[in-house]
Structure 1
Amino acid sequence: MGEEVEAQEFSRADRTRHREKVRRCLDVFARMLREARFDTDDPMTGLEVELNLVDDRGDPALKNAEALEAIADPDFQTELGQFNIEINVPPARLREGGLRTFEDTLRTSLNEAERRSSQVGAHLVMIGILPTLAEGHMGMHSISSNPRYRLLSDQILHARGEDLTIEIAGATERLDTTSDSILPEAACTSTQFHVQTSPDQFAAYWNASQAIAGVQVATAANAPYLLGKELWRETRIPLFEQATDTRSEELKAQGVRPRVWFGERWITTVFDLFEENVRYFPALLPVTEEEDPLEVLEAGGTPALAELRLHNGTIYRWNRPVYDIADGVPHLRVENRLLAAGPTVADTVANAAFYFGLVRALAESERPLWSQMSFSAAEENFHAAAQQGIDAQIYWPGVGQVQATELVLRRLLPLAHQGLEAWGVEAADRDRFLGIIEQRCLTGVNGAQWFAARMAERAGEDRYDALRAVLLDYTERMHTNEPVHTWT
């Protein structure tokens, strides 16, 4: 959820001062892109995983504070809902066995965390939306104790001026509900892939990430149920878009941009994204620090650009630009935020391998994919894949409308292999992790498809009893680390 802030109220003067500081940070960032040395020599990749907590019956466990105290590992942190936690996996270089390192680290950390958190009645589950969530879990009583979350909820609802409306139509069922907080956002748990890049290459990596968003979601969809309803295969996408929407119906009609945003154009520089964020979106958390970024830069230091980073953290692009500092040196990352976690660690790392390989191959291609494809087509692919999952039909240059799985098998997996080879990933690791993606496409089984099929077998049962039973089955299989396409 970004930088932590203390509980506070903001005056009109606070907002004016903060806007001026954000714009000053943006000017300094532009100068840094021209003059500063960014860390680009040996790029790192990273991984974050958001998790759900359930009790022994499979119902949400509102115990993240107790679970984190039991886990006692600084890599685990709170998330918005008391039934959420997040693990930040240490960054790694792919050429140094990074994929295996991610898998080993995640499995070791999650197994130990499960052992400890289970002692307080909270079990870890990797799934995009916890299927057993009910309306009763969506109130402010479920929000985490970190002051940032309540403050963010208050600011979003204040900006909107009315309760949030959630309207999602699935193939056969529909959800219509309202909320007086942003708690529905807590239902959306994701995996975030980070890829470090130079300022010169950032636009290519971001554009490539946008272009493949639909393919990623189609192959990895894992969120078919929300509040007892079978909706989209990746219901996280429309839920997240609606659960943080600061716009009233009138502002939507005027074309005001949403804070959860796919974007509207291909970019030519990373500055385009930060500048759009400042130009289009008012601050939700106008916290102003003492640092003068220009003074720091001119003194030979690296400015934190705290206000710009905090503002950037409240604009939820599906591929987010990140400015960060490590050991006093600034760097840039693309944060790919499209996918749910799970069903297993192996599936999650396979998704990472597919993304890292494919994005590199496309970003470094002599003829950019985005020069052959409209931006609106990429966005339409994204939402079609979220609706239909592994059965999605999407548009691809030179092919037209095509089954996503066929596109992956015939064209994109070879590119992903090339990209991972360019990263320095060993052949055995390429074959193993991309082989999981291949088998998903051949069998037509990802997390959402498996869960929905198991629910169909229980069609005559009480809906929530069935959801609990299938979720407990899912969780047991999750611990085997056998990829979902092998589950019977």
Structure 2
Amino acid sequence: MGNEIPSSYFKPEDLKLFNERLQQETKIIDKWFSQDRFASEQKMFGYELEAWLIDKNYQPAPVNEQFLKKLNNPLVVPELASFNIELNSLPQHLSGHVFSDMEQNLNQIFNLCRQQAQLLGSDMLAIGILPTVRKTDLSLRNMSNSPRYRALNEQVLRMRHGRPLHINIKGDEHLCVQHDDVMLEAAATSFQLHLQVPPSLATHYYNAAIILSGSMVAATGNSPFLFGKHLWAETRIPLFEQAVSVGGHGTDDEGDLKRVFFGTGYTQDSLFECFQENLDHFPVVLPVLFEDPPDRLAHLRLHNGTIWRWNRPLIGFDEQGEPHLRIEHRVISAGPSVVDTVANAALFTGAVKSLVASQHTPEFNLTFNHARHNFYQAARLGLAADLHWLGEQQVNARSHILKQLLPLARSGLEQLEINSHDRQYYLDIIEQRIRSGQTGTNWQQRYAAKHDYDMQALTAAYATLQQSGKPVHEWPI
């Protein structure tokens, strides 16, 4: 979905040809999965961090075209709205000082972006939902100048037969609005981790990522407000699900699956099951035709990029053209600080490694329905949620993270041969965050309550504290 397309206009024969090529490429990867064609290297990871450009009044600044042209950095790319950008990493080897290196690299690119934004009279901020964003900001006049985004909007509305999108989120307050385009999606920004996995363990990594999703949302929430209303602890999750609310094939016996969703179950035999589900259940949104040979999977990868599972399997290629498998973990909010972002990455990579290496296959000890329940409970209630854990025991999220998740992460990072300083330093940040109860969500809630729910004051204070570099558990109210 990140690649540019030549046009937003499609003919009926484009759709027919795309579907033929998609079926052909799905058959190719079916063979690859059965023949163990994918690279075995697993200790690589990368990330994407979505961020906001803001003006001097802490409102969205729709200047990403000028910003990106001046910055001229291939690792920083546009997002759906002209006030959003995405910071990308190069693939990193998951060992040694990888997390302190990640913090250094992310700080460097973050500061470069801020300096360039300031030259345009604006600044950059990483936060799940910008508290000051207004419904009027989320209009087509603020869509990034890109055929792929215009095409996405046109095709989503075509599939909805022109019906507007409805946002209905009940939290501490109730938000009910309708919108005539997909721009509401731009209000939800995240930190996405990509973990390369070996074919022999790919299903276990995918299932472990699903199992960890609720715990990760509880530990990393950072978006309690939208349009001035106090909603879920992680409002970004229902917002994104409802902002691109397009179902699957209407006549499907399995029901009308949504394109942003938690998934339909654990994988059993291989990740191919997800790609078969893509083919069987989801009509093509962007029938862009490529001239690449079929084994480059251009159509299959584009189609997969328009289906937003919260944990998404990906197929990539290395510099030698060798295919590999990745899991994209999409549940973590952007922000609050660079060091918090790195700590969140360490928590997930350690915990998922530990679960996969466990003697007892974790998906046998937690039903998929309970994993899904955890995800939405954590999104609603954050650290106050009660979650199901392995063996189907019920645990309070805060106690669970301290007593179960952090030990898992420490063990996993040790197995990955992560430097002892990195292990201790970044997981201690998570521990202090959870012990204090001050996630990004909690800080925003407490600050807003103390300052009469002034969203501009909240955003200004948040920006100052993010720029201090301190982890969120040290932020004053």
TM class by shorter-chain length? Answer: over 0.9
Aligned to 2:159: 159
Provide the C-alpha distance between the structure 2 equivalents of 1:117 and 1:58, rounded to a whole number of angstroms.
Answer: 13
Paired letter, 1:31: K
Q: Does 1:443 align with 2:436?
A: yes
Render the CA deviation track for 1:392-427: whole Å, top value 9, x for unaligned: 111113362211110111112111111011111011
Counting only pairs closer than 5 Å after superposition, residues 254-293 of structure 1 correspond to structure 2 as 255-267=255-267, 268-293=269-294
Structure 2 unaligned blocks of 5 or more: none
Provide the C-alpha distance between the structure 1 equivalents of 2:289 and 2:56, rounded to a whole number of angstroms.
Answer: 44
Aligned to 1:316: 308
Instruction: Please report how far the alpha carbon of residue 368 of structure 1 lies from its aligned counterpart in structure 2 after TM superposition.
Output: 1.2
Paired letter, 2:313: P
Aligned to 1:65: 65
Paired letter, 1:149: Y
Secondary structure (helix, strand or coil) at the match of 1:90 reads: coil
Instruction: Please report how far the alpha carbon of residue 252 of structure 1 lies from its aligned counterpart in structure 2 after TM superposition.
Output: 11
Aligned to 2:229: 229
Secondary structure (helix, strand or coil) at the match of 2:296 reads: coil
Aligned to 1:353: 346
Secondary structure (helix, strand or coil) at the match of 1:74 reads: coil
Aligned to 2:328: 335
Structure 1 unaligned blocks of 5 or more: 294-302
- Contact residue 247 and residue 282 of structure 2 kept, 8 A: no
Instruction: Please report how far the alpha carbon of residue 34 of structure 1 lies from its aligned counterpart in structure 2 after TM superposition.
Output: 2.8
- Contact residue 366 and residue 390 of structure 2 kept, 8 A: yes
Identity of aligned residues (%): 38
Secondary structure (helix, strand or coil) at the match of 1:45 reads: strand
- Contact residue 210 and residue 378 of structure 1 kept, 8 A: yes
- Contact residue 53 and residue 117 of structure 2 kept, 8 A: no
Aligned to 1:470: 458
Render the CA deviation track for 1:275-312: whole Å, top value 9, x for unaligned: 1111100000011223442xxxxxxxxx2100000000
Secondary structure (helix, strand or coil) at the match of 2:77 reads: strand
- Equivalent of 2:317, from 307, 325, 333? 325
Aligned to 2:32: 32
Q: TM-score under structure 2 normalisation?
A: 0.96
Paired letter, 1:18: F
Paired letter, 1:283: V
- Contact residue 252 and residue 281 of structure 2 kept, 8 A: no
Provide the C-alpha distance between the structure 1 equivalents of 2:118 and 2:353, rounded to a whole number of angstroms.
Answer: 40
Provide the C-alpha distance between the structure 2 equivalents of 1:82 and 1:195, rounded to a whole number of angstroms.
Answer: 29
- Contact residue 264 and residue 376 of structure 1 kept, 8 A: no
Provide the C-alpha distance between the structure 1 equivalents of 2:59 and 2:28, rounded to a whole number of angstroms.
Answer: 48
Aligned to 1:367: 360
Secondary structure (helix, strand or coil) at the match of 2:115 reads: helix
Aligned to 2:244: 244
Secondary structure (helix, strand or coil) at the match of 1:95 reads: coil
Provide the C-alpha distance between the structure 1 equivalents of 2:254 and 2:184, rounded to a whole number of angstroms.
Answer: 25
Secondary structure (helix, strand or coil) at the match of 2:242 reads: helix
Instruction: Please report how far the alpha carbon of residue 33 of structure 1 lies from its aligned counterpart in structure 2 after TM superposition.
Output: 2.1
How much is the aligned-residue C-alpha RMSD, in angstroms?
1.8
Secondary structure (helix, strand or coil) at the match of 1:85 reads: strand
Render the CA deviation track for 1:36-83: whole Å, top value 9, x for unaligned: 642223521111100011111111111111221232211100000111
Task: Decide whether aligned partners of structure 1 residues 480 and 215 sit closer, same or farther in structure 2, where only a CA change above 3 A counts.
Answer: same
Paired letter, 1:411: Q
Instruction: Please report how far the alpha carbon of residue 160 of structure 1 lies from its aligned counterpart in structure 2 after TM superposition.
Output: 0.9
Paired letter, 1:74: P
- Contact residue 206 and residue 319 of structure 1 kept, 8 A: yes
Aligned to 2:467: 479
- Contact residue 103 and residue 342 of structure 2 kept, 8 A: yes
Render the CA deviation track for 1:91-124: whole Å, top value 9, x for unaligned: 2112142111111000011112101111102211
Render the CA deviation track for 1:317-352: whole Å, top value 9, x for unaligned: 101111011111111100001111110010001000
Secondary structure (helix, strand or coil) at the match of 2:391 reads: coil
Provide the C-alpha distance between the structure 1 equivalents of 2:125 and 2:165, rounded to a whole number of angstroms.
Answer: 27
- Contact residue 381 and residue 395 of structure 1 kept, 8 A: yes
Provide the C-alpha distance between the structure 2 equivalents of 1:252 and 1:330, rounded to a whole number of angstroms.
Answer: 31
Aligned to 1:305: 297
Greater shift in the superposed pair: 34-43 or 76-85 = 34-43
Secondary structure (helix, strand or coil) at the match of 1:479 reads: helix
Provide the C-alpha distance between the structure 1 equivalents of 2:42 and 2:182, rounded to a whole number of angstroms.
Answer: 39
Provide the C-alpha distance between the structure 1 equivalents of 2:138 and 2:115, rounded to a whole number of angstroms.
Answer: 27
Instruction: Please report how far the alpha carbon of residue 378 of structure 1 lies from its aligned counterpart in structure 2 after TM superposition.
Output: 0.5
Aligned to 1:426: 419
Render the CA deviation track for 1:173-195: whole Å, top value 9, x for unaligned: 11111111100000111101011
Aligned to 1:393: 386
Provide the C-alpha distance between the structure 2 equivalents of 1:312 and 1:260, rounded to a whole number of angstroms.
Answer: 12
Secondary structure (helix, strand or coil) at the match of 1:473 reads: helix
Provide the C-alpha distance between the structure 1 equivalents of 2:168 and 2:42, rounded to a whole number of angstroms.
Answer: 45
Instruction: Please report how far the alpha carbon of residue 13 of structure 1 lies from its aligned counterpart in structure 2 after TM superposition.
Output: 2.0
Provide the C-alpha distance between the structure 1 equivalents of 2:34 and 2:304, rounded to a whole number of angstroms.
Answer: 21
Q: TM-score under structure 1 normalisation?
A: 0.94
Counting only pairs closer than 5 Å after superposition, residues 167-206 of structure 1 correspond to structure 2 as 167-171=168-172, 173-206=173-206
